[in-house]
Amino acid sequence: MSFTTTRRSFLKASLLASAALLIPEKALASPFSETKPSGKLRLLNTHTYETINTTYRNRHGHYNFESIRKLNWILRCHHTNEQYPIDIKTLEYLDLVNTRLGGNHEIHIISGYRSPEYNNYLLSTGHRVGRQSLHLEGRAIDIRIPGIDLSDIHGTALSLHMGGVGYYPRANFVHIDSGAFRTW
């Protein structure tokens, strides 16, 4: 990875986080409950076995850019090691799902950012992935949470109406993204 890519990724993440800081109460508000995301995530990347337990946002709504940088690394494309800034809304959505399920779970990441190279590889080998997948934009995450029924993760994500929710019980994961609300 070149310095330019790293610098560009940092600048994009900084811009997204700065925008979210302008209206933190709006960014974190949910129309269905007063429960807000905790600002903490505990993740395990199921491909690299790397873990992180971090506070990415404090209770005042200020983002920790070093934590976000580390989250971007854990959520990188495991096939190419390419990282991309993960959308703050996607991180907050993931956090809110976890919070609604009791919080402080270790969330297993099946897929975060997906490089174009890896997406094309998956398409060429018969995997059913979208050509314009939000994984390519750092706006989607595929997850499971050990000890929590997949149907409960799915139902919780659906109840929030915050973005896309895909249910893959055979593959044992739920897809969430910060796109328009839709289900499959």
The whole-number pLDDT of residue 16 equals 54
pLDDT band at residue 35 under the 50/70/90 scheme: confident
pTM assigned to the model: 0.81
The whole-number pLDDT of residue 128 equals 86
The whole-number pLDDT of residue 32 equals 41
pLDDT band at residue 54 under the 50/70/90 scheme: very high
pLDDT band at residue 31 under the 50/70/90 scheme: very low
pLDDT at 27 over 70: no
pLDDT band at residue 6 under the 50/70/90 scheme: low
The whole-number pLDDT of residue 8 equals 62
What are the structure tokens assigned to 127, written together?
A: 């995997």
Q: Which class in CATH covers the domain with range 3-25+34-183?
A: alpha beta
The whole-number pLDDT of residue 28 equals 45
Q: What is the mean pLDDT of residues 30-45?
A: 79
Q: What is the mean pLDDT of residues 67-96?
A: 98
Q: Is 146 exposed, middle or buried (0-12, 13-18, 19+ CB in 10 A)?
A: exposed
Alpha helix ranges (H) inside the chain: 3-22, 24-28, 65-74, 88-100, 116-124, 150-160
The whole-number pLDDT of residue 23 equals 44
* CA distances for 1 relative to 71, 121, 129, angstroms: 17, 20, 25
Residue appearing with tokens 């790397």: 50
Q: In angstroms, rounded to a whole number, what is the distance separating the alpha carbons of residues 143 and 158?
A: 14
Q: What is the mean pLDDT of residues 75-82?
A: 97
